[in-house]
């Protein structure tokens, strides 16, 4: 153990040195930026990358090295969360990154297939001190013993599974199992579906897969970023420390309700409303809503118009009846609308085409009216006169008001808000009544509708681009002036001879000088992606994927045109009324049958005694249901108690007080009971997003998805079962959250 302690000490000395170098680099780069001489610093790495490096080095401080492999040829490799060399010139790694190919035998080697190993060592550390060693002999012909051998090859895994929870998920990098390793290291391209029951490690595998892909495809994914979608903010907080602990900080974690920049979906829908909004057919409904906003006048729309009086005298002397009124005929608008729609552009981008056709038609109308020779001769207006008329019509407020009425410029928020306030004839009366809402905050189910509306409408950014170009030209003009001043200055010592001293204009031109004054964007790719609705991610990982609606999948597929995705979930745990549930139903519209499916069949979380009870719940609806196999048994069977309704909250509080104090405890109850339960539970708030680091939390079954606790008390299971269309699945989820103990409290009238 002394040798390993010396090695760990050496590692941390190197880690501290790397951290100091990264922090110094951040300071140097920031000072360069602050000078204003070159805001876009032309260095190998940016401020954001330096900062990410510091954050990663800080995150891996705990448990930096966790293993060692001794090869039959005498080589020895230490395995850790990141790779590390003794110095920048050393070729042989001091510490092997767990994702490197040479580290793979640490996870896959067995006595039957040792993969060239003599032994595998697990290191347990606390801070920077080695507290335990565990050796596995893989080459039985090797008689060397260290005194740290343990005949139980699963001792490290079982110790990790039995440890008390903290309210934050920890990485499993020390205990990755063979079936998990194969999924983690699967190729990036294409869609990989990872299905598994409760406790099979789906989420942990997905997060470690993200870390592996960022290691194996660093250049591509660092530029395009990885998106991880979770079911709720509490879940994202629960998993938020896993990737940083593996040295990865450039990942965007988000819920579906956060994927439309500028919108905070804090409202709630009924299950029926969420189901209606989530149907795939809503895409066609919104497309029809957009087309309905492209209207026509009933017959003729009068537009008041006053000319500038700049036409030729022969024309002005002629008396033209109603020459100040333009007539926008229905046929004229119909032809303009057909032309605009034929472009195939989104609504707002097609709007200028509609406007140009209307302006051209009105210009022709006014030209015919004002320039007509009463004696039958040719039109009295020349090309310049017609151009002047066109300019006047194009800048007429009355004309633009008419165009706005027939083809309005729309925002996604405006379109969806109007649709929800009055769904009209696009839906059945029953569905329209379910989703009708005037005002109020956006809901998570609204976000895919907003995204769909944004696709249908498009964003006309021509004005913004024109402003940016004007600003760029101003910078170039300013830079040109600076260069001219530098060119005009003289050094009298050389005024009578050709100077060999280079001036500024000899080195750089005005355009490049102006470019260097542009403000650089030092945000990470993940930060830029969070603010850009049209960002295309390099890879997307979706947890609890079975819960997403068809409309939500349309949003995600737009975010990943390459279809490089990892989807993890369990159809047997589908709880959302809008959830697709079926992998085929989710994927066929986008990739056909070109996707891979794998299943995790081992339950590492839930003891066999608890899993038996939970499986019986699922078998009540599906007699053929087979749960994942639990790897451990604690000998502690779930307890159940039945009380009168007036004693329910008090009984739950008493059971919470009697529970062991180590780890975390969750009370999972229907939402309607939470206020009464919170009144009896000291320091346990109800409502809002739970703080999972508290010793006791109060959740409903949906909030509990993907989480785990040492002890769980499920309240009124029959109310959970009858509370929704997928109530049995919700109860199954609630019963499979504990790692140690489960209790059930019900009333005798439930």
Instruction: State yes or no: pLDDT of 112 exceeds 90.
Output: no
Residue 494 pLDDT level (bands cut at 50, 70, 90): very low
Check residue 109 and report its DSSP letter: -
End-to-end CA distance of the chain: 58
> What pLDDT was estimated at residue 26?
66
State the Cα–Cα distance between residues 345 and 462, nearest whole angstrom.
14
Residue 40 pLDDT level (bands cut at 50, 70, 90): very low
- Residue among 719, 721, 714, 750 nearest 735 (CA): 714
Classify 485 in phi/psi space as left (phi over 0), alpha (psi -120 to 50) or beta.
alpha
Q: What is the mean pLDDT of residues 699-721?
A: 95
Helix axis angle for 282-292 and 412-421, nearest 10°, is 100
**Which has more pLDDT, 472 or 691?**
691
340-354, 369-383, 393-407, 450-464: the lowest-pLDDT one: 369-383
Q: What is the mean pLDDT of residues 340-358?
A: 97
Q: Where are the alpha helices (DSSP H) in 606-705?
A: 608-619, 648-658, 674-680
State the Cα–Cα distance between residues 274 and 445, nearest whole angstrom.
6
Instruction: State yes or no: pLDDT of 320 exceeds 50.
Output: no
**Helices H / strands E in the chain, number of each:** 30, 21
State the Cα–Cα distance between residues 355 and 333, nearest whole angstrom.
10
> What pLDDT was estimated at residue 123?
92
State the Cα–Cα distance between residues 750 and 746, nearest whole angstrom.
7
- Residue among 716, 695, 694 nearest 640 (CA): 716
Which of 219-223, 369-373, 457-461 is most confident? 219-223
Check residue 149 and report its DSSP letter: B
What predicted TM-score, i.e. pTM, was given to this entire model?
Answer: 0.85
Contact 205/171 with Cβ under 8 angstroms?
no
- Residue among 163, 239, 170, 197 nearest 664 (CA): 163
Contact 243/211 with Cβ under 8 angstroms?
yes
Q: What is the dihedral of CA 7, 12, 17, 21, to 10 degrees?
A: 130
Instruction: State yes or no: pLDDT of 38 exceeds 50.
Output: no
Per-residue CA distances from 529 to 191, 459, 460, 525, 611 (Å): 21, 18, 20, 6, 41
How does pLDDT run across 385-410, given as a tens digit for each residue?
888 888 989 999 999 999 999 999 99
Phi, psi (degrees; rounded to nearest 5) at 674? -70, -35
The burial of 90, by beta-carbon neighbours within 10 Å (0-12 exposed, 13-18 middle, 19 or more buried), is given as: exposed
Residues 6+ positions from 690 with CB-CB distance below 8 Å = 234, 697, 698, 699, 703
Q: What is the mean pLDDT of residues 113-142?
A: 90
Phi, psi (degrees; rounded to nearest 5) at 84? -150, 140
Q: What is the mean pLDDT of residues 693-700?
A: 94
In this structure, are strands 602-603 and 629-630 parallel, antiparallel, or unpaired?
parallel
Instruction: State yes or no: pLDDT of 32 exceeds 80.
Output: no
Residues 6+ positions from 525 with CB-CB distance below 8 Å = 222, 223, 224, 225, 250
Q: Give the helix/strand (H/E) hosting 257.
A: none
State the Cα–Cα distance between residues 264 and 261, nearest whole angstrom.
8
- What is the percent of the chain with per-residue pLDDT over 70, rounded to a whole number? 85
Instruction: State yes or no: pLDDT of 623 exceeds 50.
Output: yes
Q: What is the mean pLDDT of residues 38-67?
A: 65
> What pLDDT was estimated at residue 515?
62
Instruction: State yes or no: pLDDT of 682 exceeds 90.
Output: no
Q: What is the mean pLDDT of residues 499-514?
A: 56
State the Cα–Cα distance between residues 552 and 537, nearest whole angstrom.
16
State the Cα–Cα distance between residues 740 and 607, nearest whole angstrom.
7
- What is the percent of the chain with per-residue pLDDT over 90, rounded to a whole number? 62
Q: What is the mean pLDDT of residues 261-277?
A: 93
Contact 565/540 with Cβ under 8 angstroms?
yes
Residue 520 pLDDT level (bands cut at 50, 70, 90): low
Instruction: State yes or no: pLDDT of 490 exceeds 80.
Output: no
**Which has more pLDDT, 463 or 12?**
12
List the structure tokens of 567: 């989807």
State the Cα–Cα distance between residues 128 and 165, nearest whole angstrom.
22
Instruction: State yes or no: pLDDT of 135 exceeds 50.
Output: yes
> What pLDDT was estimated at residue 72?
93
The burial of 506, by beta-carbon neighbours within 10 Å (0-12 exposed, 13-18 middle, 19 or more buried), is given as: exposed
> What pLDDT was estimated at residue 153?
62
- What average pLDDT is seen over the chain? 86
Classify 203 in phi/psi space as left (phi over 0), alpha (psi -120 to 50) or beta.
alpha
Residue 41 pLDDT level (bands cut at 50, 70, 90): very low
Q: What is the mean pLDDT of residues 203-229?
A: 94
State the Cα–Cα distance between residues 173 and 98, nearest whole angstrom.
8
State the CB neighbour count (10 A cutoff) for residue 489. 8
List the structure tokens of 505: 């204009």
**Which has more pLDDT, 319 or 687?**
687
3 state SS of 667: strand
State the Cα–Cα distance between residues 570 and 202, nearest whole angstrom.
9
Instruction: State yes or no: pLDDT of 357 exceeds 50.
Output: yes
Residue 97 pLDDT level (bands cut at 50, 70, 90): very high
Q: What is the mean pLDDT of residues 124-146?
A: 87
DSSP track, 185-234: TS-SSSEEEEEE-TTS-HHHHHHHHHHHHHHHTHHHHHHH-EEEEESSHH
Classify 357 in phi/psi space as left (phi over 0), alpha (psi -120 to 50) or beta.
alpha
Residues 6+ positions from 501 with CB-CB distance below 8 Å = 491, 494
State the Cα–Cα distance between residues 315 and 571, nearest whole angstrom.
77
Provide the sign of the torsion angle of the four alpha carbons 681, 683, 689, 694, taken in this order: negative
Which of 470-474, 577-581, 651-655, 678-682 is most confident? 651-655
> What pLDDT was estimated at residue 177?
92
Q: What is the mean pLDDT of residues 200-218?
A: 94
> What pLDDT was estimated at residue 325?
87
**Which has more pLDDT, 51 or 592?**
592
Residue 52 pLDDT level (bands cut at 50, 70, 90): low
How does pLDDT run across 456-489, given as a tens digit for each residue?
999 865 655 666 667 667 767 776 776 666 565 5
Residue 521 pLDDT level (bands cut at 50, 70, 90): low
Phi, psi (degrees; rounded to nearest 5) at 596? -105, 145
> What pLDDT was estimated at residue 37?
39
- Residue among 551, 536, 555, 350 nearest 457 (CA): 350
List the structure tokens of 85: 């060399």
> What pLDDT was estimated at residue 382?
82
């Amino acid at each position: 153990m002394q040798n390993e302690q010396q090695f760990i000490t050496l590692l941390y000395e190197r880690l501290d040195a790397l951290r100091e170098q990264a922090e110094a680099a951040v300071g140097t780069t920031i000072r360069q930026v602050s000078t204003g001489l070159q805001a876009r610093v032309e260095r190998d790495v940016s401020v954001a990358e330096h900062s990410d490096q510091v954050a990663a080095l800080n995150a891996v401080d705990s448990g930096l090295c966790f293993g060692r492999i001794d090869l039959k040829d005498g080589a020895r490799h230490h395995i850790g969360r990141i790779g590390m060399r003794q110095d920048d010139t050393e070729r042989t790694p001091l510490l092997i990154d767990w994702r490197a190919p040479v580290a793979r035998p640490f996870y896959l080697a067995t006595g039957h297939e040792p993969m060239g190993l003599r032994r595998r060592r697990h290191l347990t550390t606390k801070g920077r001190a080695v507290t335990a060693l565990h050796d596995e002999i893989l080459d039985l012909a090797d008689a060397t013993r260290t005194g740290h051998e343990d005949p139980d090859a699963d001792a490290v895994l079982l110790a990790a599974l039995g440890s008390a929870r903290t309210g934050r998920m920890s990485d499993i990098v020390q205990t990755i199992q063979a079936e998990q390793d194969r999924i983690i290291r699967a190729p990036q391209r294409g869609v990989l579906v990872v299905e598994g029951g409760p406790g099979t490690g789906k989420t942990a595998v997905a997060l470690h897969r993200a870390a592996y892909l960022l290691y194996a495809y660093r250049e591509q994914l660092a530029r395009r970023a990885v998106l991880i979608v979770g079911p709720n903010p509490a879940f994202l907080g629960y998993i938020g420390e896993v990737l940083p602990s593996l040295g990865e900080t450039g990942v965007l974690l988000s819920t579906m309700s956060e994927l439309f920049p500028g919108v905070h979906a804090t409202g709630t829908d009924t299950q029926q409303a969420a189901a209606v909004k989530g149907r795939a057919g809503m895409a066609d409904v919104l497309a029809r809503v957009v087309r309905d906003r492209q209207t026509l006048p009933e017959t003729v729309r009068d537009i008041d118009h006053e000319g500038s009086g700049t036409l030729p005298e022969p024309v002005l002397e002629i008396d033209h009846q109603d020459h100040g009124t333009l007539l926008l005929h229905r046929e004229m608008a119909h032809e303009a609308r057909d032309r605009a729609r034929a472009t195939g552009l989104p609504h707002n981008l097609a709007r200028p085409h509609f406007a140009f056709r209307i302006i051209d038609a009105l210009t022709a109308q006014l030209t015919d009216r004002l320039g007509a020779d009463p004696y039958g001769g040719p039109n009295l207006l020349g090309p310049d006169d017609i151009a002047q008329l066109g300019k006047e019509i194009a800048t007429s407020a009355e004309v633009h008001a008419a165009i706005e009425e027939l083809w309005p410029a729309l925002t996604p928020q405006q379109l969806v808000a109007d649709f929800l306030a009055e769904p009209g004839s696009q839906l059945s009366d029953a569905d329209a009544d379910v989703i009708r809402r005037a005002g109020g905050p956006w809901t998570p189910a609204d976000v895919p509708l907003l995204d769909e509306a944004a696709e249908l409408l498009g964003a006309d950014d021509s004005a913004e681009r024109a402003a940016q170009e004007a600003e760029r030209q101003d910078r170039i003009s300013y830079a040109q002036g600076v260069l001219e001043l530098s060119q005009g200055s003289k050094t009298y010592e050389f005024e009578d001879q050709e100077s060999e001293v280079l001036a500024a204009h000899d080195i750089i031109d005005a355009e490049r000088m102006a470019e260097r004054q542009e403000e650089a964007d030092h945000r990470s790719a993940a930060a830029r992606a969070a603010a850009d609705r049209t960002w295309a991610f390099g890879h997307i990982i979706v947890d609890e994927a079975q819960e997403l609606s068809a409309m939500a999948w349309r949003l995600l597929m737009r975010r990943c045109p390459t279809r490089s995705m990892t989807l993890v979930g369990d159809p047997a745990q589908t709880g959302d009324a809008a959830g697709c549930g079926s992998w085929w139903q989710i994927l066929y519209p986008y990739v056909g049958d070109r996707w891979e499916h794998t299943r995790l069949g081992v339950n590492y979380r839930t003891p066999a005694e608890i899993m038996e009870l939970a499986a019986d719940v699922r078998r009540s609806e599906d007699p053929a249901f087979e749960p994942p196999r639990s790897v451990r048994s604690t000998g502690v069977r779930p307890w159940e108690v039945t009380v009168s309704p007036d004693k329910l909250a008090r009984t739950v509080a008493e059971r919470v007080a009697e529970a062991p104090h180590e780890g975390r405890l969750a009370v999972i109850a229907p939402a309607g009971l939470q206020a009464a339960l919170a009144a009896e539970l000291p320091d346990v708030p109800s409502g809002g997003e739970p703080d999972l680091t508290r010793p006791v939390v109060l959740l409903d079954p949906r909030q509990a998805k993907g989480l785990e606790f040492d002890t769980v008390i499920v309240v009124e299971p029959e109310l959970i079962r009858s509370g929704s269309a997928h109530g049995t699945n919700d109860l199954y989820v609630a019963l499979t959250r504990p790692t140690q103990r489960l209790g059930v409290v019900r009333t005798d009238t439930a």
